[in-house]
């Protein structure tokens, strides 16, 4: 049986053909084109967030294992999978470091003279799971004060470090890290509504890397018009890939759902699916034997007289280069969707901080960093080499 399975895989899952072919024949497809007829004879279906998985997709198919290379599962009808006895695998936390680094890089670019320094800044983190906790850890390094809100986590743990939403909304920065939910005692659909926004500072930096439907986009547009000094950072949008062009124009950082798209994050998700397939089919294949990740050594070029941690980080990744061009707004509707997806499909390889090595030597072009800056960068994951 193993080796002869039929496996349909979203082509955006890295190393898919090499890694999963040990289980059977891999068919790479565009995730938006996956249909019931396409997967009729598939034993295994591996998707990403662009594929909605429900009864209409899976009914009368041969699928026994459904995996998503994502940490979010709002595109998956988990109840149907359970009722149909289809094994479900996902990758919680795989891209958490990538998203946390997106938040820090965004803040470095978005912070202006009118904002307090990081050491005096209050960071409101809404959703304190894998990602939110790493955002706090990164901001702690710079001495920021974090206000945390996660009512579901509080009900489970009674953690006194978690506070109410109204208190968190007084922060200089609001960053969203919640799952998309429509039911239950604390639904997040349209959580960011007019009432939410009315409580924010007029010069707030608002960041959303969770899901577009968490935000009432009309309310956010209205807030921005009333508060021109506010800064909007959006990686996720309602109705992707047909996104709101008016909101696009108002966002300072406007990226095509790539916050979690680090190379390392993608590989972690692939490894997670591979391990679950091993468990499901009771095999003992080795991921490391099929893929040996090398440490990518990239030393940033320093051309600034002020060698701060922030300047090094922004040279490692200038997040503004990932912005969706405003020319998107001039495209025909169908072309917008194609363009948005092409930005994700062709997104250049981005490595996490831990893959960066900063060279220190006594040459004129070397990095001359004080001990505190080096310490902060090391805590973020950067490595140093001495020559």
Q: Which residues of 82-109 are buried (b: 16+ CB within 10 A; e: fewer)?
A: eeeebbbbbbebbbbbbbbbbbbbbbbb
Question: Residue 346: is the preceding peptide bond cis (ω within 30°)?
Answer: no
- The alpha-helical segments, DSSP class H, found in the chain are 16-20, 55-58, 78-83, 96-110, 130-141, 151-157, 165-168, 194-198, 217-226, 245-250, 263-281, 287-290, 309-316, 333-345, 371-380
- Please answer whether residues 255 and 321 qualify as being in contact, where contact means their C-beta atoms are separated by less than 8 angstroms: no
- Tell me whether domains 96-254 and 309-386 share a fold: no
> 69: which residues sit within 8 A by CB, 6+ positions away?
10, 13, 46, 47, 48, 91, 94, 266, 269, 270, 272, 273
Residue 83 pLDDT > 60, yes or no? yes
The domain 96-254 belongs to what CATH superfamily? Answer: NAD(P)-binding Rossmann-like Domain (3.40.50.720)
Query: What was the pLDDT predicted at 248?
Result: 98
Measured CA to CA, the distance from residue 275 to residue 270 in angstroms comes to 9
Q: Is the dihedral of CA 117, 120, 124, 125 positive or negative?
A: positive
Reference 326, options 232, 250, 231, 226; nearest CA is: 250
Domain coordinates in residue numbering, the chain: 5-90+262-290, 96-254, 309-386
Report pTM: 0.91
Q: Distances from the Cα of 73 to the Cαs of 92, 250, 261, in angstroms?
A: 9, 29, 16
CA 231, 236, 242: angle at the middle one, nearest 5? Answer: 110
| pLDDT above 50 for 364 | no
List pLDDT tens digits, range 323-353: 999 999 999 999 999 999 999 999 999 999 9
Q: Which residues pair with 29 in a beta bridge?
A: 10
Fold (CATH) for 309-386: Ribosomal Protein S8; Chain: A, domain 1 (3.30.1370)
Select the more confidently predicted residue: 320 or 303. 320
Residues 6+ apart with CB under 8 A from 224: 230, 232, 250
* 202: DSSP letter: T
How far apart, in whole angstroms, are the C-alpha atoms of residue 115 and residue 369?
A: 25
Per-residue pLDDT at 107: 98
pLDDT for 361: 59
Q: What is the pLDDT of residues 201-229, one digit of tens each?
A: 999 999 999 999 999 999 999 999 999 99
Could you report the per-residue pLDDT of 257-309, keeping only the tens digit for each?
999 999 999 999 999 999 999 999 999 999 887 776 665 555 556 555 567 88
DSSP 8-state class, residue 204:
-
Question: Which residues have a catalytic role annotated?
Answer: 211, 240, 257
Q: Which two tokens stand for residue 117?
A: 């320094």
Q: Give the Cα separation of 137 and 142 in Å (integer).
A: 9
Pick the CATH number of 5-90+262-290 from 3.30.360.10, 3.30.450.40, 3.30.365.10, 3.40.50.720: 3.40.50.720
User: What pLDDT does 55 receive?
Assistant: 97
The mean per-residue pLDDT over the stretch 162-182 comes to 97
Question: Residues 119-148: pLDDT tens digits?
Answer: 999 999 999 999 999 999 999 999 999 999
Q: In whole angstroms, what separates CA 372 from the centre of its chain?
A: 29
The helix/strand count (H/E) of the chain reads as: 15, 13
Other beta carbons within 10 angstroms of residue 153's beta carbon come to 16
The label of the residue with tokens 């391990």 reads: 275
């Amino acid at each position: 049986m193993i080796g002869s399975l039929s496996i349909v895989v979203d082509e955006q899952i890295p190393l898919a053909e090499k890694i999963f072919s040990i289980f059977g024949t891999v068919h790479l497809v565009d995730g938006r084109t996956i249909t019931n007829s396409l997967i009729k004879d598939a034993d295994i279906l591996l998707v990403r967030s662009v594929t909605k998985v429900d009864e209409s997709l899976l009914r009368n198919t041969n699928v026994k294992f459904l995996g998503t290379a994502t940490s979010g599962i709002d595109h998956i009808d988990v109840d149907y999978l359970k009722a149909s006895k289809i094994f479900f695998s996902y990758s919680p936390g795989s891209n958490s470091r990538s998203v946390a680094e997106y938040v820090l890089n965004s803040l470095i670019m978005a912070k202006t003279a009118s904002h307090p320094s990081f050491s005096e800044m209050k960071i409101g983190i809404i959703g304190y799971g894998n990602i939110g906790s790493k955002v706090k850890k990164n901001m702690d390094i710079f001495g920021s004060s974090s206000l945390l809100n996660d009512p579901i986590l509080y009900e489970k743990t009674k953690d006194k470090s978690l506070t109410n939403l109204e208190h968190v909304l007084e922060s200089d920065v609001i960053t969203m890290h919640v799952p998309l939910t429509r039911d239950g005692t604390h639904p997040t659909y349209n959580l960011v509504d007019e009432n939410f926004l009315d409580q924010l500072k007029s010069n707030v930096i608002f960041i959303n890397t969770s899901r577009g439907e968490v935000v009432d986009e009309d309310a956010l547009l209205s807030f921005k018009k009333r508060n021109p000094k506010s800064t909007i950072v959006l990686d996720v949008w309602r109705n992707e890939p047909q996104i709101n062009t008016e909101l696009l124009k108002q966002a300072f950082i406007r990226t095509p759902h790539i916050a979690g798209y680090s190379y390392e994050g993608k590989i972690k998700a692939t490894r997670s699916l591979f391990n679950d397939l091993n468990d499901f089919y009771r095999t003992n294949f080795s991921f490391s034997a099929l893929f040996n990740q090398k440490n990518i050594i990239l030393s940033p070029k320093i051309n600034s007289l002020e060698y701060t941690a922030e300047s090094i980080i922004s040279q490692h990744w200038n997040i503004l280069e990932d912005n969706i061009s405003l020319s998107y707004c001039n495209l025909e509707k169908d072309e917008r969707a194609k363009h948005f997806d092409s930005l994700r499909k062709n997104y250049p390889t981005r490595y996490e901080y831990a893959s960066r090595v900063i060279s220190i030597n006594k040459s004129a072009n070397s990095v001359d960093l004080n001990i505190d800056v080096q310490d902060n960068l090391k805590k973020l994951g950067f490595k140093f080499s001495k020559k």
